[in-house]
């Protein structure tokens, strides 16, 4: 584990983050955008846990904050899905392009 | 090549493959399956890093809970077994450029960060985590307040989600109440009014 170091984990987290951003930019289905957000949150979590392993000052904090992120992600998914269901009831589609009512 | 490197390479490959699958797959059902692979891979990374409790929590909460929510969302909002929303080519290009640029930036930053010599700490045991959450951890580290805030937040959010997602009575602009509005909405819509975009591809 020691010869692995922090860098591979950070690079993998950056890759997960990039995939999540790509999801956000290209998906038109609202649930797909939610999946992109999940990817981004997981990337942040990988960073936190890797830091808790390899940076002694963050030994406890990394895992504590990662647990907080997991809970917040679950809460976010629940509310986002409730909003999407409402949106689907009102527009008959999960396409975010249909949400144009607040557009100027 | 020792065991840790081989294991990391395998788990990282699975995770990255899943992430690419989520980003690239057009069908939401397939994206959900790829998301399952990614989340399980991230749980494997936590186990590799010695965070057993976090890995178990990831498996239980994400793979067991959030993913089920997402799959239900896909099932409820999909308009057909193979309905796919097409993305414009320009959006693929812009998204790819954005994601590639961000990845390059973060990778360079990670390389520089990795230059510092890292000392490997022993990962905290589960009882240490629990004690610090309850404010009686060693070294004066107390996360009782964030723990309470997060738990109350979770309660509020779940109540709000149940409130938002309920089938509600809607009052029409002319004051007529239609109690079964929500269930009959799709059938009573005029043809095509619910789908302003005609770019739904159905094989």
Terminal CA-CA length for chain A: 54
Least confident of A20-34, A42-56, B168-182, B183-197: B183-197
Please report the sign of the dihedral spanned by the C-alpha atoms of residue B7, residue B12, residue B15, residue B21: negative
Give the pTM. Answer: 0.82
Residue contact B38–A39, C-beta within 8 A: yes
What values do phi and psi take at A29, rounded to 5?
-80, 135
Q: Band of the pLDDT at B171, cuts 50, 70, 90?
A: low
Confidence of residue B172 (pLDDT cuts 50, 70, 90): low
| Of A23, A22, A19, residue with least CA distance to A34 | A23
For residue range B65-115, list pLDDT tens digits in order: 889 888 888 888 877 666 677 778 888 899 999 999 999 999 999 888 877
Task: Give the Cα separation of A29 and B85 in Å (integer).
Answer: 7
Looking at residue A46, what is its pLDDT?
A: 94
Q: Which of helix, strand or coil describes residue B120?
A: coil
By the 8 A CB rule, do A67 and B150 touch? no
Residues of B in contact with A27 (CB under 8 A): 85, 87
- CATH numbers and ranges of domains, chain A: 7-92 (1.10.287.3510)
**Consecutive sets of 10 residues in chain A, 104 residues long: mean pLDDT of each?**
80 94 90 92 94 86 91 91 86 79 66
Kindly list the residues from chain A whose CB atom is less than 8 angstroms away from the CB atom of residue B54. 49, 63, 66-67, 70
Question: Pairing mode, if any, of strands B177-178 and B200-201?
Answer: unpaired
Q: Are B67 and B39 in contact (CB under 8 A)?
A: yes
Residue A77 · residue A38 · CB < 8 Å: yes
Query: What's the N-to-C CA distance of chain B in angstroms?
Result: 48
């Amino acid at each position: 584990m020691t010869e692995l170091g922090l860098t591979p984990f950070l690079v993998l987290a950056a890759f997960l983050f990039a995939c999540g951003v790509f999801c956000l930019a290209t998906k038109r289905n609202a649930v797909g955008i939610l999946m992109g957000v999940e990817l981004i949150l997981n990337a942040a979590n990988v960073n936190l846990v890797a830091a808790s392993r390899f940076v002694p000052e963050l030994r406890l904090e990394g895992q504590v904050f990662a647990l907080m992120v997991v809970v917040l992600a679950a809460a976010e998914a629940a509310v986002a899905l409730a909003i999407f269901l409402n949106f689907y009831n009102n527009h008959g589609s999960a396409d975010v392009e249909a949400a144009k009512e607040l557009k100027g | 090549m020792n065991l840790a490197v081989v294991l990391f390479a395998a788990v990282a490959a699975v995770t990255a493959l899943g992430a690419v699958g989520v980003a690239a797959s057009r069908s939401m059902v397939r994206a959900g399956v790829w998301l399952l692979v990614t989340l399980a891979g991230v749980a494997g990374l936590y186990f590799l890093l010695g965070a057993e409790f976090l890995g178990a929590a990831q498996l239980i909460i994400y793979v067991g809970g959030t993913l089920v929510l997402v799959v239900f969302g896909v099932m409820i909002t999909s308009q057909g077994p193979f309905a796919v929303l097409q993305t414009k080519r320009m959006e693929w290009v812009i998204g790819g450029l954005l994601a590639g640029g961000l990845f390059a930036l973060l990778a360079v930053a990670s390389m520089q960060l990795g230059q510092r010599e890292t000392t490997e700490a022993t990962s905290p045991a589960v009882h240490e985590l629990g004690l610090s959450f309850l404010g009686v951890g060693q070294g004066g580290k107390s996360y009782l307040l964030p723990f309470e805030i997060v738990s109350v937040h979770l309660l509020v959010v779940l109540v709000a989600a149940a409130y938002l997602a309920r089938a509600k009575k809607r009052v029409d602009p002319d004051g007529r109440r239609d109690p079964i509005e929500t269930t009959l909405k799709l059938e009573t819509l005029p043809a095509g009014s619910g789908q302003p975009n005609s770019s739904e591809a159905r094989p």
